[in-house]
Amino acid sequence: MHDVIVVGAGAAGLFFAGSLPPGRFRVLLVDHSTKLAEKIRISGGGRCNITNLEGAKLDRYHGQEPRFARQALNGFGPDAFLAQFRRDGLSVHEKHRGQLFCDQGSEAVIRWLDRRAQLAGAQRIMGSTVHAVRPDYDHGPCFSLESDAGPLRSRMLVIASGGPSIPAIGASDWGQRLAASLGLKLIEPRPALVPLTLQAPWMANAALAGVSLNVRVSLPTQRSAPSFDEDLLFTHRGLSGPAILQISSYWAQDQALELRWAPNGLSRDFAERWVKQKATQRQSLERIFGGSDPTLSMPRRFLQQRLGMSGAQLPELTTTIDQWPDRAIRQLGQILERDRLLPTGTEGWKKAEVAAGGVDVAELDPRSMQSLKHPGLFFLGEVVDITGWLGGYNFQWAWSSAWSAARAISVILEGYLNERG
């Protein structure tokens, strides 16, 4: 009989095991993969965006009830995580918008997590799928598991198996399906932080593939969703880049995106200002958007295609603004200030960085991540209906939820040990 079995040897599972008192409990990690923490390995192109300086901010997370995450994030936020990380000789550097990357790379993060788990006394079985879980409450909380490694039993069961994003590395919805089989409510998992697809005329001849621009993107029909000022990248299938990955977590089928091109270079009323000052506007669009000001940068081929699609009778890109009719300037303003674009879908689980949805947080205790229906059963990280923004937030949620569960389980198991004398 184990004290704790953890299904999933990824970020949340390994960090949970390493957060238990060293050598105090009988802990077993079980994973269907033969490799540890594959999502960490590929994170940030092998550099691993381990957290974010603003990783404790609740508005950077979403789900049916994002406030559920408050206790875990407040109890163990980025500062607490970094203190442990640095104490063990690892270091980080900040990149864009508070994103913190490990200086030593992803492999060093995996080694660190593995070392912590081993110091806590955790054993592990890799390459073993768990096929069935049966709770048994006749003699206190106990769970029987059927696995490729044979039958297993444990007092506590922790599900840290992640979600179905990036199936090429073996990711699946096993944890969500287990929760449903035990009577817990699920929020239907869906791809998040994922590229969106488009159809013609945007994709005509893939003319825009490879074009990157700064944009402000929002969902006008979903007022609760934030807007994002980030780069957008046209691909051969549609849209990607940080702005699109961020908004994709909130996007639903048949919702149009609202795009404001060059939001840091063009004011909301630029068209009216140009009309009033037209006599002094001696530059062409080609010069304005192709000059040295990065906040106004728009590739010529983007301008040609987008303005050509509009159906508006606009002058050539080489025509100076003082030669443009007022009507044409205002039409240009409508396109660049408040453009609309309707994606046809997402690129699915294959390209999604995380899964949105998962175990409904109404089924869990926010102080411990423990199931309210099944004492002794805990759910961590991506399995749960809490999804963070791009930029280290989902790893922070893994660390925070794992720490909360480790503290709670330590108290429960100490009680059992004291009873045994």
Q: Which amino acid makes up residue 216? A: R
For the segment(s) 2-191+355-420, the CATH number from 2.120.10.10, 3.50.50.60, 1.10.1200.10, 3.40.718.10 is 3.50.50.60
Task: List the one residue out of 418, 421, 419, 405 whose CA is nearest residue 27.
Answer: 405
DSSP letters along 271-298, please?
HHHHHHTGGG---BHHHHHTSS-GGG--
Q: Which tens digit of pLDDT belongs to each residue from 100-116?
A: 999 999 999 999 999 99
Whether 74 shows a pLDDT value over 70: the answer reads: yes
Q: Which tens digit of pLDDT belongs to each residue from 354-365?
A: 999 999 999 999
Q: Which tens digit of pLDDT belongs to each residue from 333-351?
A: 999 999 999 999 999 999 9
Confidence of residue 201 (pLDDT cuts 50, 70, 90): confident
Q: Which tens digit of pLDDT belongs to each residue from 186-198?
A: 999 999 999 999 9
For the segment(s) 196-346, the CATH number from 3.40.50.2300, 2.40.30.10, 2.40.50.140, 3.90.1150.10 is 2.40.30.10
Orientation of helix 106-119 relative to helix 11-18, angle to 10°: 40
What does the alpha-carbon distance between residue 335 and residue 323 come to, in Å, rounded to a whole number? 19
Q: Which tens digit of pLDDT belongs to each residue from 206-221?
A: 789 999 999 999 999 9
Q: Which tens digit of pLDDT belongs to each residue from 42-56?
A: 988 888 999 999 999
Ranges of each domain in the chain: 2-191+355-420, 196-346
Cβ atoms of 90 and 83 within 8 Å: the answer is: no
Task: List the one residue out of 255, 260, 215, 258 whose CA is nearest residue 233.
Answer: 215
Helix/strand/coil for 253: coil
What does the alpha-carbon distance between residue 37 and residue 14 come to, in Å, rounded to a whole number? 8
Orientation of helix 300-309 relative to helix 326-337, angle to 10°: 110
pTM: 0.95
* Cis omega (within 30 of 0) for bond into 375: no
